[in-house]
Structure 1
Amino acid sequence: MTDLLSAADGLNRRAGARRTEPARSTQFEALALAVSANIPVLLWGEPGIGKSAGLVRLATGLGVPLETVIASVHEPSDFAGLPIIGDDPAATGVPMAPPDWAVRLATAGRGVVFFDELSSAPPAVQAALLRVVLERRVGSLALPEPVRVVAAANPPASAADGWHLSPPLANRFVHLRWTHEPSTVARGMAGTWPEPSMPVVDPGKAAAAVARARGAVSGFLTARPGLAHHLPEDAEGRGGAWPSPRTWEMALRLLATGYATGARPEAVAAAVVGAVGDGAGLELLAYLDELDLPDPNRVLADPSAFALPERGDRQLAFLTAVVSAVQDDPTRRRWEAGWDVLAKAVEAGVPDIAARAAGDLAALREPGWPVPSGIDGFVELLQLSGAL
C-alpha cells in the first residue's frame, strides 16, 4: 500500500508542478498598492476563483509569513482574547490571551494575516474583528506595524449562511472585486501561471507624492463637499465601499502610494474606487484627469517658472500641494519660495483661494526668519484668522 501511495504522490507532484511568467494584473496591483499603504483590504469574489492563491503570491512576493484565519468558524473571544487569571487579578487585572496566529506574527515582526470567509461570520464575530482591523490589537497583544490585514468574502448570495457586513467594519476596508480570466485559467492548466509584479515605493518620490495627493483630495472635497460623508441607504451598499473622512484618508494614501510607485492608472483607480465607492471614486478620478498638478518640489525650486491654474479648484489643489511640500522639508529657502508661489494668487486677484494655504505656511515660520514680501497680500486675512 505504501508503494502504491508513493506512486500516486509522485503523480500528484507532477500534476501540481507549474511554471510562471511575468504578467500585469490590475486587481493584484491594486491589492499590492493597498497593502503597501498599510490599509486593510477586502477581496470580494465567488468561491474557488483564486483569492487565497492571490494572497500566497502576495506574501511570497513580499517575503513575509502568511497566517490564514477562517473568520466564519471562530468565536468573538478568539479575536477579543481569552481571559487568563493571574496571581493577583485585583492588582494586575485579567490579561486577554491572544491566539497562536497573532503570537506568531508578533514574533516574526511582519507578515500578512488573511481573514477568509468574512461575510459568513456572524455579526458578533464581525464586531470583535473591528478592534483587530482598526486598532491592530488581538487580546492584549498589539500587532507590529509591518503586519498587513487582508480579508476575503463571498457575495451574500453565494456565501454559506452569508451576512451583510456591518457599516463600521465595511468602512475600514478597501473593497476589491476579485475575478478570473478564462484564458489565464486555461494557460494555467497547461502548466504556466502568471506572476504579477509588485509595485515598489521610490523613497525619492515619497515627499512629492504625498504633497500631490494632499492637494488633489483637498481640492476635490472643497469642490464637492457633499461627498465628504455619504452613508448608503441600503444594507448592501453600507456593507461595501462608501465615502467618509476615514475612507478619504485611505484614498489619499492610495494616491500617494500610486504616485510614489509609478503604478498603472488602472490599478490606482481600482484601489481608490474600492476605498470611497463607485460614485465618489469615479468623480475623483475624472477630477484627477483634468487636474494634472506639477511636482510641487520643482515649483519650489523655481517659483517664477510656473503659472497659477485658471480654475479655482485647481488653484486650491495646486497651492495645498505646494504648502504640504514645504511642511515636509521646512527650510527657510523653501518657505520663502512658498510665499512666492502664493503671491501668484494675489496677482491673479484671488487671495481668498490661498487664504488657508497662507495660514498653514505662516505657521511654519521659525524665529529669526524675515517676513517675505509675498506675504503682503495676505496680511489682513492672516490677522483676521489670528495667524499674525
Structure 2
Amino acid sequence: MAVTPVQLPEVLLHVAVVRPVFLWGAPGIGKSSLVREFADSLGLECVTLLGTQLAPEDLIGVPELVDGRSRFAPPESIARDEPYCLFLDELNASSPEVQKAFYSLILDRRIGTYELPEGSVVIGAGNRATDNALARPMASALVNRMVHVHLTASPKDWLAWAAGAGIHRWVLDYLTQRPDHLWSAPPKVEEPFSTPRGWHMLSDALHSYGDDVTDDVLAVLAFGTLTSSHASMFKAYVKTVRHAYGLDAVLRGDARWPHAPEDRDLLYFLAEAFRARLVKELPADKAHAPAAGKVLAHRGKALLVELAELSLEIAQVVIAADEHGNSVLPAWFLVEVTRDLPRLVAARA
C-alpha cells in the first residue's frame, strides 16, 4: 500500500501498535521525521538504531554471568523499563547477520530474556534498490515479519506543513508555483537531487545568510541541495522576486520577456511559469471557456511570437508535449497555434 505523509500517522496508529511496520520510501522524503513525530504523538520516546552502523552484538548484547550461568545482556539503548518506539532505520541496508539479529526483536519483541515493555512499537524503514541507495535484499523470513507500507512524497502535504514550520518564503513560494519540483528521482551519479529534505536544508541556509545573500552564494546553496535544473530555476525565481519581474507583469504587458544574455535563466523560468499558467487556466473545451480564458489564449499566442523571436528553443518548451508524448495544453489552443503561428510550427518540426 502507498500512503502520503498526512495519511501515514493514522496507518501507524492502527497497524504499528499491533504489528511491526516497515516503511519504504525514497531518500529525503521524511521517513525518519514522520516516525519521530508519530512517537511523540503517542508520548513515546523514539529510540533510533541505524542498521548500517550496527553489528549483531549491538543488538544481542554481550554475555554475563548470573548465578553461575551465562546469559546475554541486551544493550541499554534497547533494554528499557518503559514502553518506547524502536525505530530501525536503514534496516534493509544492514548486513545479513544484523538482519538475522533483528528477527526475534521484530517478531517476538524479545532479545534473549528481555521483552519490549507492553505498549512499545517497532517500526523499520529503508530505501528501495531503485532509488540508487544502499539496499540489500531482505530474507523472506524478515520480510514476512512486518507490514510493508510505501511512503510517497506529497507536495500538498509538504506545503501545508512548511507554511507553519518556518520554511523560507522563497522556498515556500517557489514550490507553491512548482510543486512538481519538490522531489526528483535519485540520479545514478553522486550529485544532489531535489527532495523535501534538500529544500529544507536550502531554507535553513537561506535563513542563515539572510535575504541579502549574493547571487553567487545563492547559486552555491541551490546547486548544493537540489537537482541542477531545479536549482537553476530557483535561482531565476529569486531574481524575479528581487527585481519585481514576474509573469503577471509580462501577461499584462507591463514588462517584456527578458532579453539580455545574462538573463537567459530568467527567461527560461518565466517560460516554464507561462506554460504552467496555460495548462492550469485554459479550459479543455473552448466553447465553455470563460472570458478570462479567451483573453489568456489570445494574449498567450502573442507572447509566444515574442518569445520565439528571442529563443525558438524556449518557445517550444511552452507548447511541448510531456515525456510520454502527450499534449498538456488543450487541443483547441494548439490548433490555433498551428493556424496562427506558422513560425512556431516550423520550429517544432
Same fold (TM over 0.5): no
Q: TM-score, normalised by structure 1?
A: 0.39
- CA radius of gyration, larger in: 2
Greater length-normalized contact order (CA 8 Å, ≥ 6 residues apart): 1
